[in-house]
Structure 1
Amino acid sequence: MMKKRGKTLLAAVLMMSLLSACGGGNGGTTANGGGDSSASPGAGGGSGDGQSINLRLYTYGTEEAYNWNHTLRAYEESHPGIKIELVQLSEKGDTQEAFKKLDLEAASSAQMDILMFSDPAGYAQRVALGMAEPLDEFIAKDGFKVEEDYKVDTRLNGKVYALPGKFNPWYVLLNKNHLEETGLEVPADWTWAEFADYAKKLTQGEGASKRYGTYFHGPQAGGWMEYLKLMMENQPENADFLKADGSSNLDDPNFRKTLELRVRMEKEDKSSVPYTDMISQKLAYRTQFFNESASMLLIGSWMNTEIGGTDKVPLNFNVAVAPFPKNTPEDETGLTPVTTDYVAVAAKSKHKQEAYDFVRWYTTEGQIVQGKNIPAWNQVGSEQVQGIIDTILSGTKNPEKVDKKSLVDTLMVSKASAIIPPASYQSEVYEAINEEYEKLILGNQDIEATIKNSQERVAKIIESNQK
């Protein structure tokens, strides 16, 4: 039975589509063949009639971050008769903008073959809307298991609707110059208590010129919720606000501990950039770190492509990397949130086998060809990982300023907690908890009230979506 959220979202998408008179092929910028699919050679046709098959790939990923021209050209050269047309849904890689455009395209008559989703909640929602084709039959024919072949298990309700591309564990970027000035070592294994201590010691000055020990880029508008699960995410099981069965996990004591950590660092230690500044000034995490306004930045390793500085964001100091902190010294090292691209076959595709073939290639060999991220594919060895890191850093402006050993060591030790299949109502849960946190951090309620209100609101969301 389709959940209420899915029905509401589908109706909204269809209504927006009608109001905007959205037509096929207008959802984003096309590249690598570009233009309307109806004008593309072989669109809708097959190689049997001498024409190439045109597959449309919808993505939020930019050329700078994904090396699309090189990657897609490599696939086309090794697969004669297949043409991949790139539809870039956001020129700046904005995932929210991309999702809106993707939903409009899905409700139109546009040709869609391959889809990329940026996060578990967005992936689950669009699976509930019927946008993605189940891949289980294709996978069975290929003879592998997702949970064995990849570091991320993408199953939803027992079925696979996407394969994971990149493997981006979260880590901590550190201003190595600031560490040396303060007499601090680059940590190879540390706890949240030590992280908070580092942040306090790294904080200097007052007023507009104050340098903070760290910057938390969330939560905001129901997004960047990783920053409200800090002491839950480094656990092997139940690392999210919801459990695998869709029930609430807000009675986990580590949820309370995370709230206590955030409040203490901002209100007592004054070592983290105030939440009000982040919201009112629309602060950017890159600017906060690379402009040296904050000495440490907890972020995902998609930053590998920028860690050595870029034309837009230059690097003027030395950078080191540390693993995601853990709760106690006895905890396992390296458990961390992991982001990936969920690469799916569109349910409306007329070339599902060819689309699946690309998805499988892209999430395996294609990740190595792309050379921009550590793959989620388990067949990639440590030497290949180091080679990819060398390639990534060589694309930055000042790779010599990066402590490569700390980066390699951190990436090699990182591992994902057990993946919890996202519920179709997960975004509603995120929004509710975000709103309650804002009341807390703005001084309108205490931690007890925040936990109680969050639990009650989430319980209602779960109940309404299970009817």
Structure 2
Amino acid sequence: MKRMAAGITSLVLIMGLLAGCSGNGSSNSSAPTNESASTDTPAAAKPVKLTMWGGVPPESGPQEVIDNWNKDHPEIQVEYVRFVNDDDGNLKLDTAMITGQDVDLFVNYTISQASKRVDSNLAADLSQFTDYNIDEKMGADAESWKIGGKYYGVPTTKSPFFIALNKDALDAAGLPVPKDWTWDELREYAKKLKAGNQYSFIQNMEPFVDPIDSVLSQEGYTKSDGSSNLDHPLVRKWLETLDTMMKEDKTTPPLGEQLTSKMPVEQVFLSGDVPMLNIGAWLLRSSNNFTDFPRDFKIAFAPVPRLAESADQFVSRGGLGDYISINAKSKKQAEAWEFLKWYSDGGMAPMAAGGRLPASKDANQDDALSSLLGDKKDTYDLDSLMYVMFDNQTPTYVRSLPQEVMDMRSQEYEKYFLGSQSLDQTLDAMVTRHNTYLKQTK
């Protein structure tokens, strides 16, 4: 993310030069009117062209969404451009907006990305539009996406995170599908499901650190005196639990092995090699793809376990996601807004094929479920799927920690998991560096 910020800064500095070198010519200048050739039939207006940038592959829902819109709205035609949702991909998107390339709508996948774009005047303030009530449509969870008390995008999807389970392996071990469990209980499941030298639990790196944030988003990242709270007892517990699973139980891969091998965790899970996977709803994009990921087992779903002893103290990452903004520099904001309203209220239903369910109360969830399951309905444990997608009432949070703190924190806990510093040294280092950051940003 530092690379992204640096790129934005450099591009902003050269914008003056770019503007100074641009001419005033227009490719839309009209030819002289020939009165004798005029008719009573007005010339057909050219359609307005919008460009939407998103991180989901076109074939996983976006292209069908765009095709559906374009078929019914000849006056406004939309093109989808995919960017990879990583540091390089987000820099590419920001560069395109800053240099005036075609970007009318774009998807933010974290609140920190959205906030940086608001600060850089790249996202339009949606309060200018008064014909769509985001709070009413999306519910209370939408509040987490306000920036400075305003919406600079629409959070369009339900974004559950969960533990995907090989139901056949659970049945063979006599283990039920959990609806509420702790990391200690997950550890016991992992030990019972371990076969030979194989691992029994793997994690996608995106939600890897979520257990810490599930605690600190409620307890506070700082203590009452303003100092860092990164040495919270449950932060210690998370570190100890995973380290034990890596080195003593050998039920989950050492972090160094997973990072250096760039382990394709979805493929490993879907091949049946590992029976438990910590991931988000995007797994459905692969699990529905039997061509590239053939499998012969049924998938069940469990909520992400909690560190806290009491369920009353637990919040889970999730809520709403896919925060779609309108480029503040776009000259077609009114047309972009029309598309965004349609998309949010159900036009996005084909996105469910990739695990993205519409958040709007006015979306047709039956259409979304049809897209979500396709012809693979019988390959899922439907009761547990419906529970994690719709029925789980655990409160949720949206990660809002500054990227600088996330980077610093991961640098330190990686040293612990790699064995180059002790647990106490790791907690001390995280607190010291966080306190330094807090002083610098006062």
Match of 1:434 in 2: 410
Corresponding residue SS for 2:49: strand
Instruction: Give aligned pairs, total.
Output: 416
> In the alignment, which of 190, 194, 198 is matched to residue 211 of structure 1?
198
1:100 aligns with 2:87: no
Corresponding residue SS for 2:311: coil
TM-score (norm 2): 0.83
1:360 aligns with 2:341: yes
Q: Is the 8 A contact 2:111 2:398 kept in 1?
A: no
Provide the rounded CA distance (Å) in 1 between the counterparts of 2:316 and 2:216: 9
Provide the rounded CA distance (Å) in 1 between the counterparts of 2:303 and 2:398: 22
1:241-272 CA deviation, whole Å, 9 max, x = no partner? 579xx985524432222112211211222211
1:417 CA drift (Å)? 4.1
The aligned runs of 1:10-21 (5 Å cut-off) are 10-14=8-12
**Which structure shows the higher helix fraction?**
2
Unaligned segments of structure 1, at least 5 residues: 19-23, 25-37, 41-46, 219-223
Unaligned segments of structure 2, at least 5 residues: 17-21, 29-41
The aligned runs of 1:329-344 (5 Å cut-off) are 330-332=310-312, 335-338=315-318, 340-344=321-325
The aligned runs of 1:59-78 (5 Å cut-off) are 59-65=54-60, 67-78=61-72
Corresponding residue SS for 2:218: coil
- 1:236/1:460 CA distance change after superposition, 3 Å: closer
> In the alignment, which of 379, 382, 392 is matched to residue 404 of structure 1?
382
1:347 aligns with 2:336: no
Match of 2:39 in 1: none
Q: Is the 8 A contact 1:241 1:250 kept in 2?
A: yes
Provide the rounded CA distance (Å) in 2 between the counterparts of 1:368 and 1:239: 36
Structure ID, larger Rg: 2
Provide the rounded CA distance (Å) in 2 between the counterparts of 1:75 and 1:239: 44
Q: Which amino acid aligns with 1:341?
A: D
> In the alignment, which of 52, 56, 62 is matched to residue 57 of structure 1?
52
Match of 1:32 in 2: none
TM-score (norm 1): 0.79
Q: Which amino acid aligns with 1:446?
A: S
Match of 1:269 in 2: 249
Provide the rounded CA distance (Å) in 2 between the counterparts of 1:271 and 1:358: 47
Corresponding residue SS for 1:315: coil
> In the alignment, which of 365, 372, 377 is matched to residue 360 of structure 2?
377
Q: Is the 8 A contact 2:301 2:384 kept in 1?
A: yes
1:100 CA drift (Å)? 2.3
Provide the rounded CA distance (Å) in 2 between the counterparts of 1:49 and 1:352: 22
Match of 1:326 in 2: 306
- 1:308/1:85 CA distance change after superposition, 3 Å: closer
- 1:5/1:306 CA distance change after superposition, 3 Å: closer
Provide the rounded CA distance (Å) in 2 between the counterparts of 1:456 and 1:464: 13
Provide the rounded CA distance (Å) in 2 between the counterparts of 1:251 and 1:323: 25
Percent of aligned positions that are identical: 26
Match of 1:34 in 2: none
- 1:84/1:387 CA distance change after superposition, 3 Å: closer
**Range 410-419 or range 98-107, more displaced:** 410-419
Match of 1:221 in 2: none
Q: Which amino acid aligns with 1:324?
A: V
Q: Is the 8 A contact 1:173 1:320 kept in 2?
A: yes
1:350-384 CA deviation, whole Å, 9 max, x = no partner? 0212212222221222233544321222445xxx5
- 1:7/1:313 CA distance change after superposition, 3 Å: closer
**Range 346-355 or range 143-152, more displaced:** 143-152
Provide the rounded CA distance (Å) in 2 between the counterparts of 1:6 and 1:125: 10
> In the alignment, which of 116, 123, 128 is matched to residue 107 of structure 2?
116
